[in-house]
Amino acid sequence: MSTTYTLDTATSRANPTPAPMKRLTVPAIQQRKAGGVTAKPVVMLTAYTARMAQLLDPHCDMLLVGDSLGQVIYGLPSTVPVTLEMMCAHGAAVVRGSYHSVVIIDMPFGSYEASPEQAFASAARILKETGAAGVKLEGGAAMAPTVRFLTERGIPVVGHVGLTPQAINALGSYGARGRSQAEADKIVGDAVALDTAGAFAVVIEGVVEPIAIAATKAVSCVTIGIGASAQCDGQVLVAEDMLGLFERTARFVKRYENVAETIEGAVKAYAADVTSRAFPGPDQIYVPEG
């Protein structure tokens, strides 16, 4: 049995600390969109660690343990090398660090494409080892039978269409998708296929805006935009991108902070203190008693 679950106010007989909020559920996210309208857009960010989850959780509806952790945390060249073990370890940390948001975990490349049965085995492992509420997988209509297989067996699924980074070797670049009418029609069709198959949300990444608007109107589930449109039913960004941890980000990222500059400033001050013997100072040393 997994030891990675955390206490949850919805189900626990104990009071978890810190005093938590009630965790949102997948049906609560689904209910945000009624009659094709989402009055309160869904707030989603990526999180890969327990501490970051603690900081983001009170302000988000959903936390995504994205396979973007391959690049952001591990310095890998793409998401392709990310493993199920990595996703489970980081997923469990994010569940432990959160009490409010619906936690969704990316299924890594190679863990679900071969068959619905392979996808079920991988998704079941993710849910058992992390305590997350659902999984996300990339791909459109071709993945619809897999999405149906999972959802009919009790696994909530988020789809991902448009720019699908796990397909970088086939796509050739991370540029925006849907510039031809044929590709635009395909992306909207992909979103509809996933919705029909039972996905409770679909991430629409890196598409020209009219596609995101058309897909959002065409599906009954919530659409989560990233490089898509403010008309989507919610938005997601990689937290480290919006916090300004990296010099290079995609056009669609809005930087709300410059954390890299803050860290560099602090480390420079620390290095100066160490070399001048100003650190540790009187407040940071232990003195003999009496």
Distances (CA, A) of 160 to 34, 141, 169, 245: 21, 11, 17, 25
The mark string for 82-111 relative to ligand KIV (x by CB under 6 A, - otherwise) is ------------------------x-----
For ligand KIV, the closer CB: 84 or 236: 236
Element spanning 197, H or E:
helix 181-197
Q: Which two tokens stand for residue 151?
A: 């959802």
For ligand KIV, the closer CB: 250 or 260: 250
Residues that contact ligand KIV, how many (by CB under 6 A):
11
Name the residue whose CB lies closest to ligand KIV: 66
In whole angstroms, the minimum distance from the beta carbon of 249 to ligand KIV comes to 11
Piece of the chain touching ligand KIV by CB under 6 A; list 28-36, 59-67, 190-198, 208-216: 59-67
3-state SS assignment for residue 202: strand
Cα dihedral angle (169, 170, 173, 175), rounded to 10 degrees? -140
Cα dihedral angle (212, 217, 220, 226), rounded to 10 degrees? 20
**238 near ligand KIV, judged by CB under 6 A:** yes
**235 near ligand KIV, judged by CB under 6 A:** no
**225 near ligand KIV, judged by CB under 6 A:** no
Length of the chain: 290
Nearest to 212 by CA among 175, 163, 144: 163
In 54-121, the DSSP E strands lie at 62-65, 102-106
For ligand KIV, the closer CB: 77 or 281: 77
d(CA 288, CA 261) in angstroms, rounded, equals: 39
In whole angstroms, the minimum distance from the beta carbon of 15 to ligand KIV comes to 33
Catalytic site includes residue 205: yes
In whole angstroms, the minimum distance from the beta carbon of 10 to ligand KIV comes to 26
Piece of the chain touching ligand KIV by CB under 6 A; list 30-38, 64-72, 126-134, 250-258: 64-72
d(CA 120, CA 245) in angstroms, rounded, equals: 35
Which of 29, 53, 68, 149 forms a contact with ligand KIV (CB under 6 A)?
A: 68
- The contact set with ligand KIV (CB under 6 A) reads 46, 64, 66-68, 106, 203, 205, 226, 236, 238
Annotated catalytic residues are 205
